Amino acid sequence: MRILAPAAFLIALHAPFALAACATSSEPWRGVLYDIDQKITLEEGPSGGSTYVPFADGAGVHLYADANLVAEADDNSFSSHTAVHEYIHLLQQAMLAGEITNTTVGPVPLKATSTSADRFKCINKCGVPAVFCEKSLEVLEALPDTMKLLDRTTYVIWYPHSEDGNDPCTDTDAKKVEILEEVYGSTCANGKVITPDFMRNENHLVAEGDAEYWALKLVDDTNVFSLFDGAAYWEGKIRDGKEGCSIPGDAKFDVKSGSGAHVDAVIEAYEDAGSPRCADNPIGEIAYQLFLDWCVESNIACTQAEQFNVWTQARLLGWCGAFEATYGKTWGEYVCAMEAADAYDVDTGCVAADVPCIACSGAGCVGATSEDSDDDAAPPAT
């Protein structure tokens, strides 16, 4: 299932207006309110997401709680791993925007204008079971200092799931404004609309796999749960993803640059062939598993620290430049290794030099300008 929730300044401009002290008739707040509206009314279905506004006083991740699942199990973390997944997406975007440039300085102090003194805070306007707030905050607070890199509060915003047994949220017009103002302040004083060019440096393929793999590993490392098993959950996702994408042996799994457009092309190829289960999250996850295997086989250090380094350097070097500078191998070498691997068997004739790259985009790029953008770029993954 695709769960894109674009950053506020990239959200559709037909967003609804609301009577709020924040200037919701203009961007970025108009888009943020639209994003919250889509979540609280289930217009997009129960799909989690994150909303990032550069240099704002708060940030939000959006999650759905199923009141039927209030007991821990080996596959039930009360969606706390999804909270970490979406939080990682916030970090990815902040790195691409140049807000986070040093990933070794955590915990970063909260700025004076942060809308709360707490690093993580829960918003539960719709009355979901309290255990979802409790467990997600417990996990987020237990993350290592190297993950605490935002200088404002991250709010975990909960909504009722659409499954039977969940009461829908009521009075949503008022509550969406309350959520907006709690996260960003009663006047939304800070936050910038900056060119979306910086998100053109995002590798959508990696964004999803990176967020899910490390979220599950980090949840395991917190030792918050006695039954939930993040490693087994990841293994199950890889099995299911390969089945849905007919891997090994399906030439449609041609990820190319990993850009949003190229991932979309893979999704469309599977949909056209009657295989809609091969969506962007499974595509990113099974590609990331091969990346991890490739790192071991190539004797490359591929920790989260290295992955963060790629995200921070992509705004300066472009994705491929940052990838090669970090790992000592080209993006094309990785893609060809994946396509030729027995576990994938997509294209044994892949040539690394022929694999397309996402061009560097934005004023921060060394020797590049926004005119050098790659048209294949897409809004951020969540």
List the pLDDT tens digit at each of the 382 positions of the chain.
Answer: 333 333 333 333 233 334 447 888 888 899 999 999 999 999 888 989 999 999 999 999 999 999 999 999 999 999 999 999 999 999 999 999 999 999 988 999 999 999 999 999 999 999 999 999 999 999 999 999 999 999 999 999 999 999 999 999 999 999 999 999 999 999 998 988 766 677 889 999 999 999 999 999 999 999 999 999 999 999 999 999 999 999 999 999 999 999 999 999 999 999 999 988 899 899 999 999 999 999 999 999 999 999 999 999 999 999 999 999 999 999 999 999 999 999 999 988 899 999 999 989 888 888 654 444 443 434 445 4
Find where tokens 């490392």 sit: 221
pLDDT at 232: 97
- Exposure pattern of 288-308 as b/e (b: 16+ CB <10 Å)? bbbbebbbeeeeeebebeebb
* pTM of the complete model: 0.91
Report the 10 Å Cβ neighbour count for 62. 29
Sequence-distant (6+) residues with CB within 8 A of 283 are 205, 208, 241, 245, 253, 255, 263, 266, 267
Look-up: residue for tokens 């590798």?
Answer: 203
- Give pLDDT, residue 286: 96
Residues 6+ apart with CB under 8 A from 235: none
- Would you state the structure tokens that stand for residue 64, as one six-digit string? 């759905």
pLDDT at 379: 41
Number of Cβ within a 10 Å radius of residue 33:
26
pLDDT tens digits, 2-20 = 333 333 333 332 333 344 4
